[in-house]
């Protein structure tokens, strides 16, 4: 056939395809007018109001977050998804592998999306530059989340997050249910985002209304705001957005938060939200601009009538800024309020109870603490400064950061062990406070000057000043977001799995302790229903073979050196959804497990100090000679992280050191996930075969970059060797080996 005929035929088919696509998309408005839902297809561009046919649409996520199977753009349109499910990856149980964006709203204004479900993507929905965007009745749960390396027994520093910069969309590396940038006058209401890492993320979004949403049980953030001002965030459920916690073991939160507010966010109102059991309840930082220049901040935000209780770290953290914290509940946190470098800040009429330290402010100035109730806290109010603080950044160079000018009045302290703990602070007025049941009313030293006590100890004078107690109007349609009275509460109920916090919505077997005789004690938790043991491996003598929820179960751990335990149970009862979004009908069998795999390691760790002559990156030959020679010292033990952490000391600095660690293992035949977290560079060998290499410092930009893992097959005896080197004093070395 002549070439020109072939060419003409190709053109004909291309034109027909384009006409067909145009007809499908342009009939959206007609379909809406006729009330006939349309079906979605990959690559559809919706430009008019339309109803979507209710069914499951599977579109594998793209490698780029800037591409999506569904594009929406236009003015004054409503897209009713009618309960349709847009699904990316169907590898449900590996959400750290999710990629791509489900829906992108490209341009336009006054766009409404409702009744949609998006899951299995790195980002569920992304919008940029859309004014008057309305998202309602959507569910963006079960999108991306990182696999957590921290365990019940030890924290892994590679799990720490950093949200300090987002000028170039750095936040996207953590994914999101909804990600908005440059979207003013938004309304986000009646949506759900759970079992992901980040819920709603906003940058340069002003004058919005976010209310009646449930962004709970995520492993990072409920709501994140960056350069976003004059928004109202009200009546939202933002509970259990947390990581970095193991009850009684470690409690640093790893920069998780129910609400995060960073970098020049001003005049926002946060009211009537439940923000409990999160790393920080509320985490505000002025931003790098303020740190560098001393200007701006996250100022004049109002926190009103929220519940910020049960935070592993701080119920409320606000730094380098001016704000109001009024009429909130803050119980059982490490710090109730941490307000370093806060100034002109009002803390008033809050209900504090059971905190380790209630109000802690370093380098604060011109702050008012009034008419708060403190009950059973360890320390009431801590004020201090560091006269030798380095002035290496702009805020300290340009601002007066002395700790001074406090008014502390009309507060009630009941059974607070140490009421005032103050040093390096001046010009403090403490009047009309009522103190009962205190062991130590005040702990001051010679660095405190010009302090005035009056009528403190026996009375409180009510305050009605509207600057301290604004009369904030609520919304008639606002939900009661607070946890029900019968809901589990308290930090012991922050129960972390390898994918995030337990949500109490599905059955789980939770180990509470293992005693000296090897008895393992479990809580059988979940919705109402019945359970029974299907099989048990690596343990014996269960205290019961079946029962009803809730229950306790005791088993006897096996006596072998290697623990390979798998207790499989079956649940029947209410309809449940698994932590990966898989739905089970009422009465159907839902399997769940307790698994434990522990290897009896015996590590030998050799320590070496290097310099420019045998630098591991610049002089590899000489470095190999170094680690083949005589070490500075040798340490041994069973847990590599503990050996490494305790190894620094005499003859070993934390800078420019290298370690070579070896251990023999003997494991059953199977597939394993092996992971290594190290600072700074590391190689892992199994039987002299390189399995993991993380040896390029240029790629270690974020904490999570210090962890790498691999899937391998093992059987029997193997030798593990780890080569690690670090230049700075940030020390970490953890190994995990999990049977899949």
Give the residues across from 382 on adjacent strands.
Answer: 360, 421
User: Residue 173 gets which letter from DSSP?
Assistant: G
Give the residues across from 552 on adjacent strands.
Answer: 523
Q: How far apart are CA 254 and CA 278, in angstroms?
A: 11
Q: Is residue 414 part of a domain?
A: yes
Between 345 and 732, where is the model more confident? 345
Q: How far apart are CA 172 and CA 122, in angstroms?
A: 8
Query: Could you tell me the CA-to-CA distances from 670 to 540, 708, 710, 737, 739 in Å, in that order?
Result: 22, 20, 14, 12, 7
pLDDT value of position 34: 45
CB 409 within 8 A of CB 432: yes
Does residue 473 have a pLDDT over 90? no
Mean pLDDT, rounded, for 185-200: 98
Mean pLDDT, rounded, for 588-592: 96
Query: Could you tell me the CA-to-CA distances from 241 to 213, 418, 506 in Å, in that order?
Result: 14, 31, 18
Q: Which of 555, 575, 595 is the last residue of a domain?
A: 595
> pLDDT class for 470, splitting at 50, 70, 90?
confident
Mean pLDDT, rounded, for 320-330: 97
Q: Is residue 617 part of a domain?
A: yes
Q: How far apart are CA 361 and CA 384, in angstroms?
A: 7
Beta strands in 244-385 (DSSP E): 245-246, 250-251, 257-262, 269-271, 280-285, 301-304, 314-319, 323-326, 329-331, 335-338, 346-348, 351-353, 357-362, 365-370, 373-375, 379-384
Q: Is residue 677 part of a domain?
A: yes
Q: How far apart are CA 124 and CA 144, in angstroms?
A: 9
Q: Give tens-digit pLDDT for 402-442.
A: 999 999 999 999 999 999 999 999 999 999 999 999 888 88
Does residue 680 have a pLDDT over 50? yes
Mean pLDDT, rounded, for 339-365: 97
Query: Could you tell me the CA-to-CA distances from 427 to 366, 447, 453 in Å, in that order?
Result: 9, 12, 11
Q: How far apart are CA 349 and CA 631, in angstroms?
A: 61
As a whole-number percent, the residues of the chain with pLDDT over 70 amount to 94
- Domain shared by 388 and 285, yes or no: yes
pLDDT value of position 710: 95
Mean pLDDT for the chain overall: 92
Q: Under 8 Å CB-to-CB from 675, ≥6 apart: which residues?
A: 149, 692, 707, 708, 709, 710, 735, 736, 737, 738
Q: Give tens-digit pLDDT for 225-236.
A: 999 999 999 999
Structure tokens given for 291: 């740190």
Mean pLDDT, rounded, for 370-399: 93
- Domain shared by 608 and 573, yes or no: no
Structure tokens given for 83: 């309960």
Mean pLDDT, rounded, for 27-49: 76
pLDDT value of position 382: 97
Cα atoms in the 13 Å half-sphere on the side-chain side of 93: 3
pLDDT value of position 14: 42
Query: Could you tell me the CA-to-CA distances from 590 to 120, 546, 570 in Å, in that order?
Result: 21, 14, 6
Mean pLDDT, rounded, for 327-346: 97
Query: Hunting for tokens 């953590």 — which residue is that?
Result: 174
| Segment holding 288, helix H or strand E | helix 288-293
- Domain shared by 445 and 373, yes or no: yes
pLDDT value of position 464: 66
- Return the closest-CA partner of residue 656 out of 623, 634, 628, 624: 623
pLDDT value of position 390: 83
| Segment holding 201, helix H or strand E | strand 198-203
For residue 238, the SS3 value is coil
pLDDT value of position 650: 65
| Segment holding 5, helix H or strand E | helix 3-26
Q: Is residue 568 part of a domain?
A: yes
Q: Is residue 448 part of a domain?
A: yes
- Domain shared by 682 and 627, yes or no: yes
- Domain shared by 569 and 465, yes or no: no
Mean pLDDT, rounded, for 212-217: 98
Mean pLDDT, rounded, for 139-155: 96
Does residue 15 have a pLDDT over 70? no
β-pairing, 657-678 vs 187-189, is: unpaired
- Domain shared by 420 and 342, yes or no: yes
- In CATH, what number is assigned to the domain containing residue 554? 2.60.40
> pLDDT class for 6, splitting at 50, 70, 90?
very low
CB 192 within 8 A of CB 139: yes
- Return the closest-CA partner of residue 286 out of 265, 270, 267: 265
- Domain shared by 413 and 516, yes or no: no
> pLDDT class for 649, splitting at 50, 70, 90?
low
- Return the closest-CA partner of residue 119 out of 153, 148, 142: 142
Does residue 13 have a pLDDT over 50? no
- Return the closest-CA partner of residue 589 out of 604, 567, 572: 572
- Domain shared by 331 and 415, yes or no: yes
- Domain shared by 414 and 342, yes or no: yes
CB 75 within 8 A of CB 110: yes
Spell out a b/e string for 88-125, using b for 16 or more CB atoms within 10 Å of the CB, else e: bbeebeebeebbbbbbbbeebbebbbbbbbbbbbbbbb
pLDDT value of position 254: 96
Predicted structure pTM score: 0.93
- SS3 for 37-63 is CECCCCCEEECCCEEECCCEEECCCCC
As a whole-number percent, the residues of the chain with pLDDT over 90 amount to 86
Q: Which of 595, 615, 631 is the last residue of a domain?
A: 595
> pLDDT class for 17, splitting at 50, 70, 90?
very low
Spell out a b/e string for 647-670, using b for 16 or more CB atoms within 10 Å of the CB, else e: beeeeeeeebbbbbbebebebeee
Does residue 394 have a pLDDT over 80? yes
Structure tokens given for 581: 């979004």
- In CATH, what number is assigned to the domain containing residue 657? 2.60.120.260
pLDDT value of position 121: 98
Q: How far apart are CA 242 and CA 233, in angstroms?
A: 20
- In CATH, what number is assigned to the domain containing residue 443? 2.160.20.10
Q: Is residue 544 part of a domain?
A: yes
Q: Give tens-digit pLDDT for 253-268.
A: 999 999 999 999 999 9
Mean pLDDT, rounded, for 696-724: 94
- Domain shared by 422 and 467, yes or no: yes
- Return the closest-CA partner of residue 265 out of 202, 324, 210: 202
Mean pLDDT, rounded, for 669-685: 94
- Domain shared by 582 and 688, yes or no: no
Q: Which of 595, 627, 648 is the last residue of a domain?
A: 595
pLDDT value of position 252: 93
Q: Under 8 Å CB-to-CB from 239, ≥6 apart: which residues?
A: 216, 217, 258, 274, 275, 276, 277, 278, 483
Mean pLDDT, rounded, for 311-315: 98
- Domain shared by 320 and 445, yes or no: yes
Does residue 193 have a pLDDT over 60? yes
Mean pLDDT, rounded, for 63-84: 97
Does residue 64 have a pLDDT over 50? yes
Q: Give tens-digit pLDDT for 546-576.
A: 999 999 999 999 988 899 999 999 999 999 9
Between 368 and 728, where is the model more confident? 368
Mean pLDDT, rounded, for 693-709: 93
Structural domains counted in the chain:
3
Q: How far apart are CA 473 and CA 78, in angstroms?
A: 30
Q: Is residue 477 part of a domain?
A: no
> pLDDT class for 651, splitting at 50, 70, 90?
low
| Segment holding 737, helix H or strand E | strand 733-739
Task: Determine the structural domain holding residue 282 and report its residue range.
Answer: 244-472
> pLDDT class for 468, splitting at 50, 70, 90?
confident
pLDDT value of position 164: 95
Q: How far apart are CA 77 and CA 29, in angstroms?
A: 9
Q: Is residue 3 part of a domain?
A: no
106 phi-psi bin (left φ>0, alpha ψ -120 to 50, beta other)? alpha
> pLDDT class for 401, splitting at 50, 70, 90?
very high
Q: How far apart are CA 316 and CA 411, in angstroms?
A: 19
Between 458 and 620, where is the model more confident? 620
Q: Under 8 Å CB-to-CB from 620, ≥6 apart: which residues?
A: none
Does residue 654 have a pLDDT over 80? no
Q: Give tens-digit pLDDT for 92-118.
A: 999 999 999 999 999 999 999 999 999
């Amino acid at each position: 056939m002549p070439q020109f005929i072939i060419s003409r035929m190709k053109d004909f088919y291309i034109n027909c395809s384009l006409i067909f696509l145009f007809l499908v998309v342009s009939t959206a408005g007609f379909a809406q007018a006729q009330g006939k839902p349309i079906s979605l297809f990959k690559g559809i561009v919706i430009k008019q109001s339309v109803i979507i046919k209710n069914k499951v649409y599977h579109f594998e996520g793209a490698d780029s977050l800037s591409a999506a199977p569904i594009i929406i753009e236009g003015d004054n349109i409503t897209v009713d998804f009618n309960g349709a499910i847009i699904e990316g990856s169907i590898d449900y149980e590996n959400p750290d592998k999710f990629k791509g964006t489900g829906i992108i709203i490209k341009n336009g204004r006054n766009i409404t999306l409702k009744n949609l479900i998006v899951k299995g993507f790195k980002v569920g929905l992304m919008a940029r530059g859309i004014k008057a965007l309305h998202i309602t009745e959507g569910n963006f749960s079960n999108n991306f989340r990182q696999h957590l390396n921290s365990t019940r027994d030890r924290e892994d520093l590679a799990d720490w997050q950093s949200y300090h910069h987002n000028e170039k969309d750095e936040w996207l590396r953590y994914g999101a249910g909804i990600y908005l940038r440059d979207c003013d006058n938004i309304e986000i209401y009646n949506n759900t985002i759970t079992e992901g890492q980040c819920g709603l993320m906003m940058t340069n979004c002003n004058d919005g209304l976010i209310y009646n949403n449930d962004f709970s049980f995520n492993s990072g953030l409920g709501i994140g705001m960056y350069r976003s001002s004059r928004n109202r965030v009200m009546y939202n459920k933002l509970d259990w957005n947390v990581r970095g916690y193991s009850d009684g073991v470690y409690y640093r939160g790893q920069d998780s938060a129910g609400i995060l507010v960073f970098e020049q966010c001003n005049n926002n109102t946060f009211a009537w939200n439940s923000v409990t059991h999160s790393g920080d309840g509320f985490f505000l930082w002025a931003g790098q601009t303020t740190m560098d220049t001393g200007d701006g901040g996250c100022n004049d935000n109002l926190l009103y009538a929220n519940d910020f209780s049960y935070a592993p770290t701080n119920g409320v953290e606000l730094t380098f800024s001016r704000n109001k914290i009024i009429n909130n509940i803050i119980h059982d946190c490490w710090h109730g309020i941490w307000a370093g470098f806060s100034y002109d800040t009002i803390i008033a009429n809050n209900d504090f109870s059971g905190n380790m330290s209630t109000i802690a402010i370093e380098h604060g100035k011109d702050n008012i603490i009034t008419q708060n109730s403190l009950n059973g806290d360890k320390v009431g109010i801590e004020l201090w400064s560091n006269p030798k603080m380095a002035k290496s950044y702009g805020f300290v160079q340009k601002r007066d950061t002395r700790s001074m000018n406090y008014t502390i009045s009309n507060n009630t302290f009941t059974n607070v062990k140490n009421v005032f703990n103050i040093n390096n602070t001046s010009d403090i007025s403490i009047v009309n406070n009522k103190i009962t049941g205190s062991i130590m009313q005040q702990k001051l030293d010679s660095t405190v000057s010009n302090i005035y006590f009056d009528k403190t100890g026996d009375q409180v004078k009510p305050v009605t000043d509207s600057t301290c107690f604004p009369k904030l109007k609520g919304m008639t349609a606002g939900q009661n977001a607070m946890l029900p009275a019968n809901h589990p509460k308290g930090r012991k109920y922050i129960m972390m799995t390898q994918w995030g916090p337990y949500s109490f919505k599905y059955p789980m077997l939770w180990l509470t302790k293992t005693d000296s005789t090897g008895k393992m004690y479990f809580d059988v938790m979940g919705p109402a229903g019945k359970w029974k043991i299907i099989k048990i491996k690596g343990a014996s003598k269960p205290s019961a073979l079946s029962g009803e929820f809730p229950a306790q179960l005791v088993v006897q751990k096996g006596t072998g050196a290697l623990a390979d335990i798998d207790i499989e149970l079956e649940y029947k009862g209410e309809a449940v959804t698994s932590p990966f979004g898989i739905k089970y009908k009422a009465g159907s069998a839902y399997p769940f497990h307790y698994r434990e795999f522990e290897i009896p390691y015996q590590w030998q760790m050799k320590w070496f100090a290097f310099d420019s002559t045998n630098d591991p990156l610049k002089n590899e030959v000489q470095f190999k000679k170094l680690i083949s020679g005589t070490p500075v010292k040798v340490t041994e033990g069973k847990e590599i992280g503990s050996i490494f952490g305790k190894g620094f000391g005499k003859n070993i600095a934390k800078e420019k050191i290298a370690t070579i660690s070896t251990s023999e293992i003997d494991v059953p035949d199977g597939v394993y996930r092996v992971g290594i977290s190290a600072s700074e560079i590391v190689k892992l060998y199994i039987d002299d075969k390189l399995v993991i290499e993380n040896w390029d410092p240029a790629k270690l930009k974020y904490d999570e970059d210090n962890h790498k893992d691999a899937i391998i097959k093992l059987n029997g005896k193997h030798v593990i060797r780890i080569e690690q080197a670090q230049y700075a004093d940030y020390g970490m070395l953890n190994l995990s080996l999990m049977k899949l």
